[in-house]
Amino acid sequence: MPATDSPETVVVLNPNSGNGDHADVVRSRAELLGYDCRETEAAGDAVEFAREAASAGAGTVVAAGGDGTVNEVLRGIDDADAFGDVTFGVVPAGTGNSFAGNVGVEGIEHAFDVLEDGRRRRIDLGRTDESLFVNSCVAGLTAEASGDTTSEMKGRLGVLAYVVSTLRSASEFDALPLVVDAHGDGGETTAWEGDALMVLIGNARRFVRGDNTQADVEDGEFEVTVVEDVSKLDVMGEAVTGGLFAENSEYVQRFRAPALEVTLRETDTIRFSLDGEILTRQSLTVRTDPGAVEVAVGDSYRPDPGEP
């Protein structure tokens, strides 16, 4: 459909996400509901299609794919400066589907029910000067999906499986001398300083084990997890794997802040992964954009997950 037409709902479908068996179902449900479905074929298509749809006046723009597709569609809407006019939706069809799970969308069929009848909530985004993220920004050893991440591990550890796989697959753990400065109403303070393997900055993601894993994406703050130097630990051990990211782990420090600057105390650079998009810097400043985007959420989504 040409961008000059103005469909009410546009689904940006990545047919290659996950195991690729979702495309027919997404196409048929979109057609049944009268949605326009645009399929990506090359890198950058999702950003372009979302930007075109938002610029043409679509009321709802949907990412059908994994967390990478979610990020690209949001970037497209942002490029069109349309967050004030567009509702964002997600159809989980990737491997991890972390964002969909955090907003209470439980599967492909359920996603279309949520698009039709679900609540709408405004949630936070994370931003740098040049990019955005909705799930997380990771500094240091990146939490990218690894070929060593098994389905069984994902079932036990959820999103932490990717982090644990990264730790396990690294031949050496070279801790990085980092400074994490927090910015808030009281000014700038040094929230953490020392040798760390990674800093995990969560927006729509919590790096914890247990049942209370939904992130608060309406509080205007990041949940920050610093994984300290665990080079002396045997991370292959089940006890370490199970306890490393527990709430009271001695190797993990946690705090919240609306904005952060992560700096390497050397002249070298480190890698930052923003929802999988890699930036290489000596330092990076990130900030929350509170209530930036309206999202269709499922019944299990809790605006304040910290409440009983």
d(CA 75, CA 54): 11
The answer on 171 and 89 residing in a single domain is: no
Check whether 148 has a pLDDT greater than 70: no
Give domain status of residue 217, yes or no: yes
Per the confidence metrics, is the pTM higher than 0.75? yes
Inside any domain, residue 17: yes
Cα 164 to its chain centre, rounded Å, is: 17
Type of residue numbered 178 = L
**So what's the pLDDT on residue 235?**
53
pLDDT tier at 143 (50, 70, 90 boundaries)? very low
Same domain, 152 and 247: yes
Same domain, 104 and 155: no
Q: Mean pLDDT, the chain, as a whole number? A: 85
Residue 161 covered by a domain: yes
Residues 175 and 272 in one domain: yes
Cα distance between residue 4 and residue 192, in whole Å:
50
Residues 104, 176, single domain; the answer is no
- What's the mean pLDDT in 110-117? 98
End residue of a domain, out of 75, 93, 117: 117
In a domain, 194, yes or no: yes
Q: What is the model's pLDDT at position 276?
A: 82
Together in a domain, 163 and 286:
yes
- 209 and 269 inside one domain: yes
Structure-block tokens of residue 185: 């109403």
C-alpha of 253 from chain center? 20
- Assess whether 76 and 153 both reside in one domain: no
Among the three residues 117, 149, 182, which one is the final residue of a domain in this structure?
Answer: 117
| Domain match, 164 and 254 both | yes
pLDDT above 70 coverage of the chain, percent? 79
The total number of structural domains that make up the chain: 2
Phi, psi of 261 (to 5 degrees): -130, 125
Q: Which domain holds residue 58?
A: 9-117
Query: Is it the case that residue 215 has pLDDT exceeding 50?
Result: yes
Listed in sequence order, the residues at least 6 apart from 206 whose beta carbon sits closer than 8 Å to its beta carbon are 212, 213, 214, 215, 223
